[in-house]
A and B are shown apart, each in its own frame.
Chain A
């Protein structure tokens, strides 16, 4: 319990120092909002098909970027050492850092969703599954952002490393087109991407339709990816802490 309170302190401080700043909030929202608006202007009847993918993309970029930037920045400034000197378990540090990055990703995705609801009339047929998808995605992506941050030294290196993964993943995970329209040889690869399951859960939330096999499959797959990301982050953090 004491460690949970300390993880909460880390998250709160990160939100206060970094995530709560207005420029950062608008940075996370501007691109997806403009993209969706353009699609809506082009064809108001089909934008809904792509909206869950864009929301998932917002979540992916928001959570991974912020986690990586904050940790890399703190490593450079020497302030990350304060956490290592404090009586915190490695899991507490990871939890604290990942929770604030997840909160940022979630907040931007939710603001985008609310914008779509009130401005363009998007409705959610299954809000619970939609929210589960957002939470699973934000948690998993922020942990992946943290792992990138501990591998590299500079912020630009973290961004390069993540873009190397994020852009191919965007292409294969059903963000811009349904999985069924991907070339057959790419479809098995899509199943190896956590984003695929997040897009599917958001799709179920918005349209009620799943491209994979229903919410249970996507939730279980999302949980598996979350566990794998957490284990990877812990392993790399332990190693990096002593460098």
Chain B
């Protein structure tokens, strides 16, 4: 039997004037999951987090977190969730420790517990040496870490992370991803929004792709990749290099071509026909096909394919 979801969203809709930010969005998140919520800019990701975090009222639909509706029982739900906004927004004048202790007070932790929790979190996030540094004096990466720590001060059942690694350098982003895994291992369900598809792929058990306020895909990263496996991807290297226009003209089986690091990445309708056309093209153009291989679709490929599909559909709507 499947367990009761910790987050359940059904037909959630939200508009801002004539802009429909969310259109009948439905999904559920199981306890203990890392759930990635993906979408291009303006897809409705932050609007969803704001509604789930009780910062924005919805127009229609049902939202249940830990068995309660955030609009009807906001205090109950907020005691059980931790939200990390896309901006690190703790109190700049307070020290790292005081920020954690103050938030502990707001969440009803007793004095001894607050102090112990602050010490534990500072240690867990490798900020013990900065305990007495004002938040405003920290680097961007450390600010991000403390903001995540602040969301965990009351041991929430669900943690919402809005673009957690946005603007961080590679080592900081990698360290933060490891921390997100640790938070999940400690028992928290993680709801993650990110632009970074690779991050979503390595971190999450399931992914939802939101495009123009609609659910475009929902499933494990493997399931979503499978949706585009029907598209054959080829990696081809020509020597010397060629122009894209003659290639597309000579090879009707090639749907799209992109060039990166000396390799052409071709999206083709059917591999066999495409190969024949590519060989003919190379002979006619007097270039050599120095390398050719098939590629596996990544989550990014799936995302881009879904984005094109949804945009085309939307444009076709009357």
Q: Which residues of A contact B (CB under 8 A)?
A: 2, 5-6, 9-10, 13, 17, 77-79, 81-89, 241-242
Give every chain A residue within 8 A of B270 (Cβ-Cβ).
none
The answer to whether the Cβ of B83 comes within 8 Å of any Cβ in the partner chain is yes
Whole-angstrom CA separation of A77 from B90 in the bound complex: 9
**B114 nearest in chain A by CB position:** A9
Evaluate contact between B54 and A13: CB separation under 8 angstroms.
no
26 inter-chain pairs at a CB distance below 8 angstroms, sorted by A residue, are A2-B108, A6-B106, A9-B102, A13-B91, A13-B102, A13-B105, A17-B91, A17-B94, A78-B85, A78-B87, A79-B89, A79-B90, A79-B91, A82-B89, A82-B91, A84-B54, A84-B55, A85-B53, A85-B54, A86-B78, A86-B103, A87-B108, A88-B75, A88-B106, A241-B55, A242-B55
Q: In chain B between 47 and 93, which residues have their CB closer than 8 angstroms to a CB of chain A?
A: 53-57, 74-76, 78-79, 83, 85, 87, 89-93
Evaluate contact between B93 and A17: CB separation under 8 angstroms.
yes
Q: How far is the CB of A9 from chain B (nearest CB, A)?
A: 4
Evaluate contact between B92 and A77: CB separation under 8 angstroms.
yes
**B83 nearest in chain A by CB position:** A85
Contact of A87 among B75, B90, B91 (CB under 8 A): B75
Q: How far is the CB of A15 from chain B (nearest CB, A)?
A: 12
Q: How far is the CB of A114 from chain B (nearest CB, A)?
A: 29
Q: In chain B between 82 and 123, which residues have their CB closer than 8 angstroms to a CB of chain A?
A: 83, 85, 87, 89-94, 102-103, 105-108
Q: How far is the CB of A21 from chain B (nearest CB, A)?
A: 10
Give every chain B residue within 8 A of A81 (Cβ-Cβ).
55, 85, 89
Q: How far is the CB of B148 from chain A (nearest CB, A)?
A: 13
Evaluate contact between A86 and B107: CB separation under 8 angstroms.
yes
Evaluate contact between B89 and A77: CB separation under 8 angstroms.
yes
Evaluate contact between B79 and A82: CB separation under 8 angstroms.
no
Whole-angstrom CA separation of A2 from B76 in the bound complex: 13
Evaluate contact between B75 and A242: CB separation under 8 angstroms.
no
Chain B 193-227 interface 0/1 with A at a Cβ cutoff of 8 Å (1 = within):
00000000000000000000000000000000000
Evaluate contact between B106 and A10: CB separation under 8 angstroms.
yes
Evaluate contact between B108 and A6: CB separation under 8 angstroms.
yes
A9-B105, A242-B55, A242-B56 as given contacts; A87 in contact with B78, CB under 8 Å:
yes
Give every chain B residue within 8 A of A85 (Cβ-Cβ).
53-55, 78, 83, 85
Whole-angstrom CA separation of A79 from B92 in the bound complex: 9
Whole-angstrom CA separation of A81 from B147 in the bound complex: 13
Q: In chain B between 165 and 181, which residues have their CB closer than 8 angstroms to a CB of chain A?
A: none
Give every chain A residue within 8 A of B87 (Cβ-Cβ).
78
Evaluate contact between B57 and A242: CB separation under 8 angstroms.
yes
Starting from the known contacts A10-B106, A78-B87, A242-B55, 18 additional A-B residue pairs (CB-CB under 8 Å) come to A5-B105, A6-B105, A6-B106, A9-B102, A13-B91, A13-B94, A13-B102, A17-B91, A81-B55, A81-B85, A82-B90, A82-B106, A85-B54, A86-B106, A87-B74, A87-B107, A241-B55, A242-B56
